[in-house]
Structure 1
Amino acid sequence: MPPEDDNRSQQRTGLHGALSRSRITGPLFRYGLSILRLNRTRGLVHGNKARLDHLDRRIDDLRRDLDDAHRKTDGLRHTVDDMRRETDTGRDDAQRQTDELREKVRRLEEGLRQIGVQQTALSQRSSADLARGDHARVRQDARIAALASNVDLVERIMLRNPNEAIPAAPAMTPASIAPRVKSLLDDFYVAFENRYRGTTEDIASRQAIYLSELDALNADSLTSGPVLDLGCGRGEWLKLLRDREIDGLGLDTNAGQLAEARDHGLAVREGDALAFMRGEPEARYMAVTAFHIVEHLPFETLAEWMLEIRRILKPGGKLIVETPNPETLTVGASTFHMDPTHQKPVPSGLLDVLAETVGFDQRIVRPLHPHPRLKEAMETMPGDFAYLLFGYQDYGFFARRPLERFEADGQGAV
């Protein structure tokens, strides 16, 4: 400190001490000092208050910022929750689709497994047939030819122009088939029916439902008469008629099946059905039946059959037809083509229009024989889809010759 400042400080200290010790000036001096200190304290308080107000404003700003942050955080939390829910939903959908795909793969593998079993069985049968000699080889050639024909048909369906019709297979008549081949085909068809249509007892139990259609006709003297069974085969239906004391006559071209029918004492003839009906008098039969035969005919031949059937039926007599139901996909796309003698499926609507055109009335279609897997399918897929895949395998068709008299030439009603 400079000497001058030191001297002034000492002088001020001495003056303060003299004033404070004086009885007159001392109280005033001390009071003045108190006022100065008070004013200085007030200044400090005002300054601190201003700083506190400033801090309060900053705190309020921080609170608002914090509230905004909370709101944004809540918004983000809701967004995250929504995203999590969407993710969970997507995961559930993906899991469901994965499960459905696995089930489809499982069914495909099962189908391939069954095909493998069938292929193995066919190979084993082929080996056994080859071991039995020349006749077995001829039968095997016939099987392979039938299989090749079906493969050709599928290829034409898959590859043809949508506007191009599939050419119809040429109709084969007994006269156009060499005796050796006809004998082979007769043996083949007997074996085929034994394996795939069932035993004679199975077929008879399925055909018994038609007996009630004949009872009323047989009880009426105007319609009572014999029954003509076209494509009678082994004669299951003729046996049922005999048990009902109804005269029945069967027609077929398969010598092997007719021999079996004759062994049971049934009235059967070998020959062409259309030629036979043309030689029959008008209004002779109470009913004409055709079980699983119309699908073997070209449409023009079927139309001629319908004309002749109407002519030889008594007024009020019935036509009864049973045929595979192509509206069920497992039939129309698969089992129908197992029989190489099938021409083409006959939808019920087509048969109904043909019968109406020919002049039949009281036409009825009755679905028959549900697929063995229908019940299982109803539990695993929508009902319409289940019936489309595994519905009724056959249908029965019933039509009546009207009661008015048919013209002598067989071409229309009077």
Structure 2
Amino acid sequence: MSGDHDGVRRSYDTVAEEYRSRLADELIHKPLDRALLAALVEEAGSAATVADLGCGPGHVTAWLAGRGVRAVGIDLSPGMVAVARRSCPQAEFRAGDLLRLPAADGEFGAAVALYSLIHLHPDELPAAGVELRRVLRPGAPLLVAVHLGDEVRHLDEWWGHPVDVDFHFFAAETVVAALTDVGFAVEARLERVSYPQEVATRRLYLLVRNAG
């Protein structure tokens, strides 16, 4: 694991409790996100195991579990995983890196990666695509969300806590290529502006399918 990932892990460990208190209910204010997640669950089917990759405090994992699927949250930060386990005992949570996911080949029938790829360097996106495809069954859907742009925003302070974390913004074609080049097929692609309570960025959503 790279030093950059170590910094991300420590940063999210530091803000885990604050993150949960501030953002645990954010889906209430995100109708488009809920609609896309519902579409993913419907495509996967109620018998599927759905992974929430970069699950944070587990609020999206809990939403998925509430729709009747078996939900598994995975996050780089053990602090976030501890918060998620306490907040959402009906789901399973694991600590792990997006480039080395703690999951068996083809374990998941669907997955979401909402704003988790943004902590990877652009050069790491292809390897992440390979790993995402490895843990998904053939034909399984994947929902990805990232911030659009070409900048890197660095935080050394977050909600009053010292951190060391970069947020990478990506061009849409960069993310599309990283996924399609390793065997995903794009089913839907859309952009939206930020909601009033969010950081002001333009966001990309990709619904892709493991074509293998």
* Coarse TM-score class (shorter-chain normalised): 0.7 to 0.9
Aligned to 2:93: 268
Q: Distance in 1 between matches of 2:195 and 2:101?
A: 36
Instruction: Determine which structure has greater relative contact order: mean sequence separation of CA pairs < 8 Å that are 6+ residues apart, divided by chain length.
Output: 2
Contact preservation (8 Å) 1:320, 1:397: yes
Q: Distance in 2 between matches of 1:239 and 1:349?
A: 31
Gaps (5+ residues) in structure 1?
Answer: 1-169, 373-389, 407-414
TM-score of the pair, normalised by structure 1: 0.42
Aligned to 1:208: 34
Rate the CA distance shift 1:171–1:344 in 2: closer, same or farther, 3 A. Answer: farther
Aligned to 2:80: 257
3-state SS of paired residue (2:112): strand
Which of 173, 183, 191 aligns to 1:359? It is 183
Q: Distance in 2 between matches of 1:398 and 1:232?
A: 18
Q: Which has the larger radius of gyration?
A: 1
Q: Greater share of strand residues, 1 or 2?
A: 2
Contact preservation (8 Å) 1:204, 1:237: no
3-state SS of paired residue (2:110): strand
CA deviation map 1:36-89 (0-9, x unaligned): xxxxxxxxxxxxxxxxxxxxxxxxxxxxxxxxxxxxxxxxxxxxxxxxxxxxxx
Q: Distance in 1 between matches of 2:184 and 2:78?
A: 32
Structure 2 letter corresponding to 1:246: V
Which of 172, 186, 202 aligns to 2:4? It is 172
Contact preservation (8 Å) 2:186, 2:206: no
Structure 2 letter corresponding to 1:342: D
Residue 280 of structure 1 pairs with residue 108 of structure 2: no
Aligned to 1:155: none
Aligned to 1:303: 126
Rate the CA distance shift 1:269–1:284 in 2: closer, same or farther, 3 A. Answer: closer
Which of 176, 187, 192 aligns to 2:14? It is 187
Q: Greater share of helix residues, 1 or 2?
A: 1
Aligned to 1:218: 45
Rate the CA distance shift 1:253–1:217 in 2: closer, same or farther, 3 A. Answer: closer
Identity %: 20
Residue 353 of structure 1: CA displacement?
Answer: 1.6
Residue 371 of structure 1: CA displacement?
Answer: 5.4
Runs ≥4 in structure 1, deviation > 6 angstroms? none
Q: Distance in 1 between matches of 2:12 and 2:137?
A: 35
Contact preservation (8 Å) 1:295, 1:345: yes
- Tell me whether 393-402 or 229-238 shows the greater mean CA deviation: 393-402
User: How do 1:8-407 residues align onto structure 2 when only pairs under 5 Å count?
Assistant: 171-174=3-6, 182=10, 186-188=13-15, 190-191=17-18, 193=19, 198-203=22-27, 205-206=29-30, 207-209=33-35, 210-218=37-45, 224-263=47-86, 264-265=88-89, 266-277=91-102, 280-281=104-105, 283-326=106-149, 336-338=153-155, 340-370=164-194, 372=196, 393-402=202-211, 406=212
Q: Distance in 2 between matches of 1:245 and 1:399?
A: 22
Q: Distance in 2 between matches of 1:194 and 1:337?
A: 21
Aligned to 1:15: none
State how many pairs are aligned: 197
Rate the CA distance shift 1:365–1:337 in 2: closer, same or farther, 3 A. Answer: farther
Q: Distance in 1 between matches of 2:121 and 2:167?
A: 6
Rate the CA distance shift 1:397–1:241 in 2: closer, same or farther, 3 A. Answer: same
Gaps (5+ residues) in structure 2?
Answer: 159-163
Q: Distance in 2 between matches of 1:171 and 1:186?
A: 15
Rate the CA distance shift 1:211–1:298 in 2: closer, same or farther, 3 A. Answer: same
TM-score of the pair, normalised by structure 2: 0.77
Residue 225 of structure 1: CA displacement?
Answer: 1.7
Contact preservation (8 Å) 2:43, 2:141: no
